[in-house]
Structure 1
Amino acid sequence: MTTQLQRLQLWTELLELQHRYVSALDTNRLEDWPGFFVEDCRYEIIPKENFDAGFPAPIVYCRNAGMLRDRVLSLRHANIFEDHAYRHATSGLVITSVEDDVVRTQSSYIVVITGQAGDSTVYQAGTYLDEVVQHEGEWRYRSKRVVYDTLRVPTLLATPI
C-alpha cells in the first residue's frame, strides 16, 4: 500500500509541476519559464514525423537554462510577431519510469491560440516527453521534448509550448 501511495503522491507532484508550467505560459509569465528547468537541461520542439523516424531535427532546441533565458529576452525585446495568447489543455500524465532519481513522464497537450483579432484556433497538439529531477527540494525539468502531431506550425513559433 505504501508503494501505491508514494506513486500517487509522486504523480500528483508532477501533475502540479505541469499545471504551474502551462499556467506560466498561458498568463504570459515567460520570465518564470526557465525556472521550471535545471541549469543543465534540454528543451526541444520536434515534429512527430522526425521523432518517429529517429531524425534529431527539432525546430526549437535549447541545451541549457541560459538558452531558455535568452529566448525569453529575445521574445520580449528582439522578435517581432503578432500579439497572441495561448491556452494549454493537458491530459494523460503517465509516469513511464523512475530510475536513478530521474522520473520520466508522458502526457498529451493541445494549445489553442488567440490572435489580436480574437479568433481562437487549435495551434498545436502533441505529446510532452519529460525527464524530471529533484532540485533544491522541488521538481524541475531536466528534459522537455515537445513532439507535435500537426504537420506544420501555422504561424511563427515564438512562445514556448
Structure 2
Amino acid sequence: MLDFETWTELLALYADYCATLDEGEWHKWPDFFTETCSYKLQPRENFERGLPLATLAFESRGMLKDRVFGATETIFHDPYYQRHLVGIPRVTRIDADVIESQASYAVFRTKPDGLTTPYNVGRYIDVVKRTTAGLRFESRLCVFDSEMIPNSIIYPI
C-alpha cells in the first residue's frame, strides 16, 4: 500500500508532466524520466497482440532530448496546442522504490485558426522509480486506442 506522501508525489508527477507538455515547455520533458528510461507510443492492437512495433520509441533520456531538439528546431509543422486530461493513476504494483501504475488519458489538439479536436486517447502504463530527485518515469508506454492517428505526432503524449 502506498503511503499518503508517496501517493501525493505520484499525483504531482502526473499533473506536472501534463502541465509541462500543455504549456509547451518541451525542454523540461526529459527531466520527468530516469537516465536509462523507455518511452513508447504504441497502438492498442500491437500492444494486445504482443507486437513490438511502436509509433514512437525512445530508450534513454538522451533520445528524449534529441526528440525535443527535432520537434522544436528541425521539424516544420503547423503550430498547435495540446491539452491533456488524465485520470487518477491506478497503482498495480509497489516495490521498495518502484511503482507500477496506469491511467487513462485524452489529449486534445487546438490549431490557432481551428477548432479543438480529440488528438490521441488511450492509457499510460508506467513504471515509476524513486530517485534522489524524486519520482521519475523509468518506463512510460502510451497505448492509444484508435488504429487511425494524425499523419504526424510531433510532441510527446
Q: How many residue pairs were aligned?
A: 157
CA drift of 1:65 comes to 0.2
Aligned to 1:157: 153
Residue in structure 1 matching 2:102, options 106, 117, 127: 106
Deviation digits for residues 76-129 of structure 1 (CA, Å, limit 9, x no counterpart): 111111100000000131110012421100000000100132310001110000
Which stretches in structure 1 are left out of the alignment for 5+ residues? none
Aligned to 2:51: 55
Aligned to 1:117: 113
State how far apart, in whole Å, the 1-side matches of 2:70 and 2:110 are: 21
Residue 13 (structure 2) pairs with residue 17 (structure 1): yes
Residue in structure 1 matching 2:139, options 143, 156, 159: 143
Percent sequence identity over aligned pairs:
33
Aligned residue type for 1:59: T
State how far apart, in whole Å, the 2-side matches of 1:34 and 1:156 are: 20
Aligned residue type for 2:44: K
Q: TM-score, normalised by structure 1?
A: 0.93
State how far apart, in whole Å, the 1-side matches of 2:150 and 2:55 are: 13
State how far apart, in whole Å, the 2-side matches of 1:101 and 1:9 are: 14
Aligned residue type for 1:116: P
Structure 1 consecutive aligned stretches of length 4 or more whose deviation exceeds 4 Å = none
Residue 45 (structure 2) pairs with residue 46 (structure 1): no
RMSD: 1.2
CA drift of 1:152 comes to 1.4
CA drift of 1:10 comes to 2.2
Q: What secondary structure does 2:88 align onto?
A: strand
CA drift of 1:31 comes to 0.2
State how far apart, in whole Å, the 1-side matches of 2:30 and 2:150 are: 25
Residue 63 (structure 2) pairs with residue 30 (structure 1): no
Q: What secondary structure does 1:131 align onto?
A: strand
CA drift of 1:75 comes to 0.8
CA drift of 1:22 comes to 0.5
Residue 79 (structure 2) pairs with residue 83 (structure 1): yes
Which stretches in structure 2 are left out of the alignment for 5+ residues? none
